[in-house]
Amino acid sequence: MRITAKGQVTIPQDVRERAGLMPGTDVEFEIEAGGVRLVKATRKGARRTRGQKLVERLRGGGDFRMSTDEIVALMRGPAADEG
């Protein structure tokens, strides 16, 4: 394997699959004696998407005590046969 002029290298598909390195996975390089190791970025070091940031900000903010079934019933409204 050879590093390109842009500093890129292709990780073989079987290695990516076995390591769980999917497109968009953040990785870090660790310098070790005699080499460099590529590892998945830790949660702290990983870039978060806008959606992830939003979910983190909203998580735990809810204050209601309704069950999922009660919420779905409210969204659906009165049943057609009750009319």
5 assigned to some structural domain = no
20 is a domain residue: yes
Tell whether the model's pLDDT for residue 83 goes beyond 60: no
Domain extent, residue 58, equals: 13-78
- Structural domains of the chain, count: 1
> pLDDT (tens digit, 9 = 90+) per residue, 28-58?
899 999 999 998 887 665 677 888 888 888 8
Contact between 38 and 15 under an 8 Å Cβ cutoff? The reply is no
Does residue 7 lie within any of the structural domains? no
In a domain, 55, yes or no: yes
CA–CA dist 48, 54 (Å, integer): 10
Strands (E) located in the chain: 27-32, 35-40
Mean pLDDT score of the chain? 86
Q: Is the pTM here over 0.85, yes or no?
A: no
The answer as to whether 32 is a domain residue is yes
Residue 24 inside a domain? The answer is yes
Would you say residue 4 lies in a domain? no
